[in-house]
Structure 1
Amino acid sequence: MIAIQKEFTINNLRYIVRSATESDAQSLSEVRLQIDGETENLDREPGEAYIDEAGFKQIIRNDTESLNNLFLVAEANERIVGFSRLVGNNLKRTSHKVEFGICVLKDFWGYGLGKNLLSESIYWADSNNIKKITLNVLETNEKAIELYKRYGFEVEGVLKKDKILFDGNYYNTIVMGRFNE
């Protein structure tokens, strides 16, 4: 797989979006755990489905070797502050599509990290003949939904009462997809 590395400066923050390497594994484990405690927009509560350094090394190794996967990190001030993944499979009937997920530390919201991780992921998918990108987003995450729509994603469905949050209420998950003809 070809490594990705692109530099951005937004609101005086300089950061790099690049392909993940195995040396990122420990930082990714720590960042993922922190992000899970900062937002309810993800599937996990803090500490759930914990992935340690060895687990991330294996994920990065698998993603690097796979033609249908991409693991990107956003690095600012010499530390990882966000990441995204595109995950596909080799089944013939679904090999044309990948699923997208993204995480950014709350202190780094508003600097375009999500937008640039998404943009680089779309570029990679389009360049690698991936026809469809799918994602799930919590209905209350309006900024993310608007971002995805600006990049050509459409609402494909709603999973009703799909998640229960800290307030004890149930929330819908929006299923979105972007098809590249």
Structure 2
Amino acid sequence: MLINEKEFKIKDLDYIIRSAVEADAEALSELRLQIDGETENLDREPGEAFIDAQGFRTLIKADSESDRNLFLVAETDGKLIGFSRCAGTELKRFRHKVEFGVCVLKGFWGYGIGKNLLQESISWADGEGIKKMTLNVMESNENAKALYEKLGFEVEGILKDDKLLSDGKYYNMIVMGRLNHVDEEISNE
């Protein structure tokens, strides 16, 4: 699915959020590799599950044509600085939901990029009648958890000792979900 481009100005940074296009593939491959090395909040070590430019082109094309997937990028001065993806499925029993994931370059944390990527994804999901959005977040990532809760996500469960980090310790992951109550509100009126 595709959305309309939106402009943001936060502090001294101007950036846009838009749908990913196939021409972004090379930059996305490099960006993902860089972000994986900047934080342990994500699932991958640098270079793991590497996606090359062709892999991103294929993913972007499929997501653009799907009514259950959304691939967004954040861009400033022609440079990609973050991206998010909502991934759904065509399986009838799970067609009502999508899973959200987000990555932002560490040098651009604090500019609302992750929040705006998520808000655009929520608007898209609600507009498409998607009933549920889910995500996973490290229990120790207080800032992300607070943001998700502020935007309507609730804790649905804890995956104990789910992630092994470079310090040799295991960390819990929190499963969070956000339900779209629009259908219920309409039927209750």
- TM class, shorter-length: over 0.9
Question: Which position in structure 2 is the counterpart of 1:72?
Answer: 72
Q: Which runs of 5+ in 1 are unaligned?
A: none
Deviation at 1:48, TM superposition (A): 0.2
1:77 is displaced (CA, Å) by 1.9
Which one has the bigger helix percentage?
2
Between Structure 1 and Structure 2, how many residues are aligned?
181
Q: TM-score, normalised by structure 1?
A: 0.99
Structure 1 distance, partners of 2:78, 2:29, is 16
Larger radius of gyration: 2
Equivalent residue number for residue 153 of structure 1: 153
Q: Tell me the SS of whatever aligns to 1:68.
A: coil
Separation in structure 1 between the aligned mates of residue 88 and residue 67 of structure 2, nearest angstrom: 9
RMSD between aligned residues: 0.7
1:91-136 CA distance string (max 9 Å, x none) = 1111000000000000000000001000000000000000100000
Shift of 1:157: 0.2
2:27 corresponds to which letter in structure 1? S
**Aligned counterparts of 1:47 and 1:23: Cα–Cα separation in 2:** 22
SS of equivalent to 1:93: helix
Q: Name the amino acid aligned to 1:129.
A: G
- Cross-structure match for 1:89: 89
- Asked if the contact 2:2–2:70 (Cα under 8 Å) also holds between the matched residues in 1, the reply is no
CA distance in structure 1 between the partners assigned to 2:78 and 2:11 by the alignment: 17
Q: Which residue of 2 aligns with 1:119?
A: 119
Residue 101 of structure 2 aligns with which residue?
101
- Could you tell me how far apart the structure 2 residues matched to 1:131 and 1:41 are? 27
